[in-house]
Structure 1
Amino acid sequence: RWNAPVSIAMHTPGTDYQPTIDAIKYLRECLPESHLVRTFTTFHLYFSTKHIPKTVAKSSEVLKTPYNCTLPPPYFNVSSGHLYKSQKKLLYPVNVGRNIARDAALTHFILASDIELYPNPGLVKKFLEMIARNDAYLQRKAPRVFPLSIFEVEANATVPRDKSELQDYLRTGKAIPFHKRVCASCHGVPQSKEWMAANETDELSVFHIGKRTGYFRHWEPIYIGTHADPHYDERLSWEGKSDKMTQGYALCVLDYEFHILDNAFLVHKPGIKVLQKDNRRAMLAGKTNQLIRKIIYPELKIMYGVRQGCVV
């Protein structure tokens, strides 16, 4: 599906560290696809200084002891409640992971995405062919990124492999735009209805150039960018929500263009999200909003300035 380099950051505090090492070994050694994992994937483990594992092996030593492939996968039948992170009620520092994975990537272009978002097959090859076809395009002065449209599919559905199949899913209700029932404006993409109606073509092209303003001022795009793009704020957690909003503000103030690709998309791991009451997350989201409003937003204005229409 991806067939290109992958840089994965994994949060492994305390006793979560060793099972993660075992899982990496299993993926590298025990699957029919293990040669692809060894060829393309680098793993980067991180944890807070307050929750350092009892032993941390040197990276050069970690893989010297092979995994016993007759054993079941280390991640089989493990619930989130059994994790050290859950037992200690730790927050998931998602933006630390995003920055680590991005900084460790060796490629020029990067798709900073979450592991449960699946790109359509052939995306990397077609994207690089699009760039190669448009040499003059690379000379454009305006900073730009290439957002991907994101969708959810029903729990029993297979992940669509191309745009034509995705369109069938959308027509029959098996697929919906990402977070439509949770936060539609967070992932509403400019010209999305026109994008969904446009027929698939063999090549990849820019469908529309949008901005993070107006109705889309709270847009949290996931995009193909480069190492030159602003980092994510590491004070924000997954549980506190709004973790990509501050970076979105920076992109807006820096006058980034959002070059939306026509035949490229992401599909979340099957299962359509609905809004659920979660008192702990609501409390943490309130604290996050205060942190952004009182501390982070004033800092962003100093670092990047202001621009009419740009909001956090």
Structure 2
Amino acid sequence: MRGIARIIVHFLVLFQILCCVYFATNMIRRKPGFRISDSSGTSTKRNETLGEYIRYESKKYGSDFCVAYNVTKATGNFRDDGLEPISLVLHATSHFMREIEGQCSSRNWNGPISISLFVDRTSSEAVDYLHEVHRCSAKVNQKLSVHVVYRMSPFQKFCDPILIKRSNRKCTSFNSTIRSRERSRVIPPFQIYPINVMRNVARKGALSYIHMTADVEMMFSDGFALKMKPLANKYINGKDKKLLVIRRFEVDNKAHVPADNKELFLMIKAFRAFEFHHKYFPAGHTIESLWQWFRMSKNQTEAYAWKIDYKSSSWEAQLILHRKDPYNPEYIPTRIRDQQSLVYELCRANYTFHLASHVFNVHRGVKTKETNLSSAVLTHQKRLRTRSYKRFMHYINTTYPDTFDQCGKFVM
């Protein structure tokens, strides 16, 4: 296993370098669709329609990335009730285009969805595809904002705008068969995925102040966004330093996804549903008093929340938080406490954690071990751990010097 991981690591690094160079030097690919405009070092001040192409500004993000915000932009307001909507904040590669459509089509998320999409030259057709889906699907058009992220080449100084060819296709012909065929043609990127950059870009591009951070594969319980909206407006205001924690579960690939806490309770009792990563990494996801959570959800008609303690530096809590709240540290290596570092900072910053009743999300599939690719990424990123840990702890202890006792030591 270690030998295979090392081979994949070396191949991954070489492939990433080649992709970066290719991405920068081959500015125009085959028609139709997404391309990078040769701007000769200049940048557009706005998104423009240029004849047969739509041009989107791309800005430098950090030292290594370019970002084009709102390549698609949600048209829905979701404020008819006077409450601030919850933005579902996701990140993905082209491998998850079907899941992106599914999140928009689901009735369980009646609110804006902000997704950061990581592409390289081989996967850039995903931008064309989502742009077309956004044009032709009313639900996607209402909910989805896509922000495109790509890695700069070693010699690239400026971010070039993105051009998308205007489509003349009739939406009636863009059926499920055609969509499936076009998704299957896109080759996912084969690079180290900059997970915390992606999380932050999706939050910064969100169209509301309240953010529900999640993975794109997670499926939400019935009416999640609307059930949580009043509670989120009560707790998440950018001033009180309160966070809402959402329980996560997983089911076998062949099992159906439970719709509500009553159905989930029966599946848990029958060992058909489980707490998320209960075999692979329970320390990161198990939240105590599950049966009490079921009782409290049953006894109330509307969602509410109660304070729980911060667990440990392994805790990978899934949160609802405010736009003003801290963001993920982007120098933390992928798969090395990347989400836990944010949760730890929130604890050190005197935020309180409140577990929400009634609602939850579910992952289809029970994880038991790492894939070869995941092991290779982990092997590669471990080399960055010591330097990143020192930088993170210096920042934490300097910024929040008086809160160590309440949060304990961060182990990376």
- Partner of residue 170, structure 1: 268
RMSD (Å), alpha carbons: 2.8
**Is 1:160 matched with 2:258?**
yes
Partner SS, residue 148 of structure 2: strand
C-alpha contact 1:250 1:300 (8 A) present in aligned 2? yes
2:6 is aligned to none
What are the ranges of 5 or more consecutive residues in structure 2 without an aligned counterpart? 1-107
In the superposition, the TM-score normalised over structure 2's length comes to 0.64
**1:288 offset after TM fit, Å?**
4.5
Aligned to 1:254: 349
Tell me the TM-score normalized by structure 1.
Answer: 0.82
Structure 2 letter corresponding to 1:57: I
Residue of 253, 257, 272 corresponding to 2:366: 272
1:171-190 to structure 2, matched below 5 A, reads 171-190=269-288
1:105 to 199, 206, 221: 206
Q: Residue 15 and residue 193 in structure 1: after superposition, are their counterparts in 2 closer, same or farther (change >3 A)?
A: same
How far, CA to CA, are the matches of 1:5 and 1:108 in structure 2?
A: 11
Cα distance, 1:28–1:125 mapped onto 2, change above 3 Å: same
Cα distance in 1 for residues equivalent to 2:238 and 2:385: 36
Instruction: Determine whether 1:25 maps to 2:124.
Output: no
Q: Distance in 2 between matches of 1:177 and 1:109?
A: 25
Deviations 1:275-302 (A, max 9, x none): 2364424423533432332322222222
- Worse-matched range after superposition: 148-157 or 110-119: 110-119
3-state SS of paired residue (1:287): helix
With over 3 angstroms needed to count, the CA separation of the structure-2 counterparts of 1:116 and 1:187, relative to structure 1, is same
CA contact (8 A) 2:126 2:183 kept: no
**How has the CA–CA distance of structure 1 residues 259 and 283 changed in structure 2, closer, same or farther, with 3 Å as cutoff?**
same
Structure 2 counterpart of 1:37: 140
CA shift at 1:258, angstroms?
0.7
Give the AA of the match of 2:204: D
CA contact (8 A) 1:252 1:310 kept: no
Q: Which has the larger radius of gyration?
A: 2
Is 2:153 aligned against 1:57? no
Is 1:25–1:67's contact at 8 Å kept on the other side of the alignment?
no
Task: Indicate the SS of the match to 1:264.
Answer: strand
Residue type of the partner of 1:298? H
- Whether contact under 8 Å (1:211, 1:256) holds in the other structure is no
Does the 8 Å contact 1:95/1:233 carry over to 2? yes
Residue 222 of structure 2 is aligned with which of 121, 127, 131? 121
- Identity of paired residues, percent? 21
Contact 1:212 1:218 in 2 (8 A): no
Map of 1:242 onto structure 2:
337
Question: For residues 210-225 of structure 1, what are the structure 2 equivalents within 5 Å?
Answer: 210-213=308-311, 216-225=312-321
Name which structure has the greater RCO, CA cutoff 8 Å, separation 6+.
Answer: 1
Q: Deviations over 1:163-213 (max 9, x none)?
A: 11111111111111111111111112243342145453431111x311214
Distance 1:152 1:140, change over 3 A: same
Cα distance between partner residues in 1 of 2:160 and 2:168: 18
Shift of 1:14: 2.2
Question: Equivalent of 2:303, from 179, 186, 204?
Answer: 204
| One-letter amino acid of the counterpart of residue 91, structure 1 | I
Task: Note if contact 2:109-2:225 (Cα within 8 Å) is conserved in structure 1.
Answer: yes
Correspondence 1:4 to 2:111: yes
Q: Is 1:228 aligned to 2:324, yes or no?
A: yes
Measure, in 2, the Cα distance between the counterparts of 1:285 and 1:195: 37
Number of the residue aligned with 1:93: 194
Letter in 1 for 2:301: D
* Corresponding position: 1:291 with 2:387: yes
Q: Please, which moves more after superposition, 299-308 or 246-255?
A: 299-308
Cα deviation for residue 310 of structure 1 reads 3.1
Distance 2:265 2:384 in 1: 37
Count of matched residue pairs:
290
AA matched with 2:109: W
CA–CA separation in structure 1 for the residues paired with 2:296 and 2:218: 22
Q: Which amino acid aligns with 2:215?
A: D
What's the CA shift for 1:38?
0.3
Change in CA separation of 1:237 and 1:285 when aligned onto 2, cut-off 3 Å: closer
C-alpha displacement of 1:145: 0.7
Question: Once the 2 structures are TM-superposed, how far is the Cα of residue 29 of structure 1 from its aligned partner?
Answer: 4.4
1:307 aligns with 2:404: yes
Q: Comparing both structures, which one devotes a greater share of its residues to strand?
A: 2
Return the offset for 1:221: 0.8
Please give the per-residue CA displacement for 1:35-94, whole angstroms capped at 9, x wherever unaligned. 010011110000111288x98534xxx373245726343554358xx43x22xxx10011
CA distance in 1 between counterparts of 2:208 and 2:239 reads 21
Partner of 1:130: 231
Q: Is the 8 A contact 1:249 1:311 kept in 2?
A: no
Gaps of 5+ in 1: none
Q: Secondary structure at the match of 1:296?
A: helix
Q: What SS does structure 2 have at the residue aligned with 1:204?
A: coil
